[in-house]
Amino acid sequence: MPSPDRPLVTAVIPCRNEARYIGPCLDSLIRCDYPKERLEVLVCDGLSEDGTRDVVAGYAARHSFIRLVDNPRRITPCAMNAGIREAHGDVIMPMGAHAVYSASYISRLVAALEETGADNVGGVLVTLPANETALARALAVGLSHPFGVGNSYFRIGAAERRLVDTVPFGCYRRAVFDRIGVFDEDLVRNQDDELNARLLKQGGRIMLIPEVVSHYYARGSLGQVARMFYQYGYFKPLAAWKVGQIMTLRQVVPALFVGALAVTGALALVLSPARLAVAGLAGAYLAAALASAALAVRRHGARCAAALLLVFPTLHCSYGLGSITAVLERAIGRRRLPHHVASVPLSR
């Protein structure tokens, strides 16, 4: 197909302090098979302090389709909106600085956008460990395990193309943003979930394309993942209030679990039946975690499987605690500014 027939694509990459990852990310886009004269890559940087800006400037000096865009507010939705404002593309693709993309990633998603008639398409996210330690490998496994993330198809995969509630690094028609607006800048996290829920509410369609894969490097420590999932949990109810509905059942399960543990645990101090309830709830969770870890031994090794017993409760409890905190703060009329929740915002 001649290049002029291809739509102009703008890749928007929110980024802050990602000197380790932004180079491989940009290298993968340089290697992509999409015509470079029909591609622009905007790295929207939140005033990085670790050399990221110098790295991006070096790439931009060598490749005219790469450009550095400032994001002085330093959080992801502001970066996305800055990129959309600067974009010339008919197709806009939010991308992650922690990810690398196959050579055909852009071309296949652009083709799928036309084939399906959907408003947004995206592929499966394969999570890679940040390093070779057992814990880092367990974090990557947990983030793509049904017990860890439920029926999040873009993380666990799917056998065929299917309509979904959200996709990672979506490939959007530019007209979507003209029709429903841009990313909500109140949401440090889950801004793409809120945008996609808004899109679905207005009759749009989001399609998972499982044959298209990107690879995402997970954070390397329990603390970093706990912080991220607390933020995901905290902003999920805020996103739901914005669109006026709970977007998926899986988003409330961690909060229900943590809340049930807290309530039955407190009641267990004075009521005997509550002791049975909290023991049963904790026991059922432990049994499920043990079974999931045991099944991981053959593929990932015993040390990684053992580390999963730390990863699963970190994911679920952090997310659940974040959601409960957001609900309680709303109930008492307290509203924290986004930077108080995420004083060191992480890239996508």
Residues 278-332 pLDDT 10s: 999 999 999 999 999 999 999 999 999 999 999 999 999 999 999 999 999 988 8
> Bridge partners of 184?
none
In terms of Cα–Cα distance, which of 52, 140, 109 is closest to 347? 52
Residue after which a domain boundary falls, among 181, 199, 220: 220
| φ/ψ (deg, to 5) at 124 | -85, 140
Taking the model in full, what pTM does it have?
0.82
pLDDT by residue (tens digit) across 206-256?
A: 999 999 988 888 888 999 999 999 999 999 898 888 888 876 778 899 999
Q: Reply yes or no on whether the pLDDT at 347 is more than 60.
A: no
- The answer to whether residues 305 and 175 belong to one domain is no
Distance CA 335, CA 274 (A): 33
Distance CA 237, CA 189 (A): 11
Counting Cα atoms < 13 Å in the Cβ hemisphere of 202 gives 13
Residue 227 covered by a domain: no
For the chain, the domain total comes to 2
- The answer to whether residues 39 and 169 belong to one domain is yes
- The answer to whether residues 216 and 258 belong to one domain is no
Per the prediction, the chain carries an average pLDDT of: 90
| Three-state secondary-structure class, residue 173 | strand
Q: Contact, 42 vs 87, CB < 8 A? A: yes
- In which band, very low, low, confident or very high, does the pLDDT at 344 lie, cut at 50, 70 and 90? very low
Distance CA 195, CA 191 (A): 6
| φ/ψ (deg, to 5) at 108 | -70, -35
- The answer to whether residues 180 and 258 belong to one domain is no
Residue after which a domain boundary falls, among 183, 199, 220: 220
Q: Contact, 325 vs 229, CB < 8 A? A: no
CATH code of the domain in which 119 resides: 3.90.550.10
Q: Reply yes or no on whether the pLDDT at 201 is more than 70.
A: yes
Residue 240 covered by a domain: no
Counting Cα atoms < 13 Å in the Cβ hemisphere of 322 gives 27
**Domain range for 317:** 249-341
Residue 347 covered by a domain: no
